[in-house]
Amino acid sequence: MVTTDPGLTRWDRVQAALPYLLVLLPALFALLREWRLEVLVLALFAVAWHWLMVTSHPGWIARPVVLIAYFAVLLAVIGVLVRIDNVFTVTGLGAFVQCFALLPGLWAYGGVAVTVGVLIAARPQLGRTPVELLGSFVVGVLAASTVGLVIKAISDQNDQRKMMIAELRETSAKLVALADDNANLQAQLLTRAREAGVLEERQRMAREIHDTVAQGLTAILTQLEAVGDVPPPARARLDTVQAMARESLTEARRSVQALRPASLQHEGALATVLEKLAATWSRNTGVPAAVSITGDPRPLHAEVETALLRVAQEALANVSKHASAGRVGLTLSYMDDVVALDVRDDGAGFAPAAASHGEGFGLVAMRQRVTRLAGSFAIESAPGQGTGVSATVPAIPADPDPGP
């Protein structure tokens, strides 16, 4: 049987084909020399018997009774063929190979001895003495055993080689998987670094606006307020300039504060701000809102804390507008490399799939804030089963205080 199993070596294929060749080739020579139907029938039977018992059903010969039956029938057929034509003596080589391939330990040498005995007994003796027959038997057993030892050594080396190849393939697969993991990790690190760089640049621009434009406008307003009495036409123009300067200062400060909510600036810790937010919201709506903090709270980058606070504010606003909830729970989880915020209520809920095409601006804004930080945003809800909003963002540490 020809196989395309990539795990098989050339020796495996040769060893599998050898019993067939050592039956069919002598049969071909015998039939070319003299046509005999019994030779064709016995040769085909030997081939079919080996295919049925060994090639087609290798599990059968694992049972001792079936293995003994296989060798008994095979040796009987070989003995008859040798009796018909001595050319079939070479078929005994195939039986030797099968003895060392199928029989364990010393049983292989017993099988070789039986096979040699069958070959000697089947050949016409032409008056040979018992001593000569015994000598032929001993020489045959020794020669067959030597050949078998060589075949066994080759088979053992072949098995070791296959084991080494399998181990190398396994190691190679592990290295490929490790390389993929390293590539993914590197991509994540690059993404985090890029996002952190964007956040740092925005913070730098905010500091620049505060230290230059805002301070300059403050100085201008101070000088304008210090101006004494002026004629009415000039006072009108002066008031206009003063109003424009004050408006510009307000816009500059709003731009700076947009990077970090006033509540975070005044209260500091995000966990504290969330607790006060929940208490205020609960007071205004009459719905209990509990805040749970897990992990090790620590200062995070302004943009990270701002995004999570905005998500909490918008989620609570949605609960008060649409959920008709009896209670709300907020969970802030600090982990090694990410921080997660979960807001869950027991309200009316909705079908996210049906609402995905018509998401309100609040949901869109929450999703955009989180994804802009290379985070993940998810909504879990079902009609009558409440709603859960989950936002997970990288735990980028806070910038060191630049000082005044």
Tokens of 245: 């300067």
Tokens encoding 162: 């296959």
CA dist 335 and 121 (Å) reads 83
Per-residue pLDDT, 328: 94
Distance CA 240, CA 164 (A): 88
Nearest to 315 by CA among 355, 275, 343: 343
pLDDT reported for residue 82: 79
Pairwise CA distance, residues 91 & 78, whole Å:
7
Domain with CATH 3.30.565.10 in the chain: 267-394
For 55-112, the pLDDT digits (tens) are 777 777 778 888 888 878 887 888 888 788 777 777 777 777 777 777 776 777 777 7
* List of the chain residues with pLDDT < 70: 1-12, 14-15, 105, 124-155, 158, 188-189, 191-193, 195-200, 202-204, 206-207, 210-211, 214, 228, 230, 253-268, 353-362, 399-404
Q: What is the pTM of this model?
A: 0.40
CATH number among 3.30.360.10, 3.40.50.11860, 1.20.1090.10, 3.30.565.10, domain 267-394: 3.30.565.10
| Model pLDDT, residue 122 | 72
Q: How many CB atoms lie within 10 A of CB 124?
A: 9
Residue 182 CA to residue 369 CA, distance in Å, equals: 28
Q: Check residue 391 and give its pLDDT.
A: 94
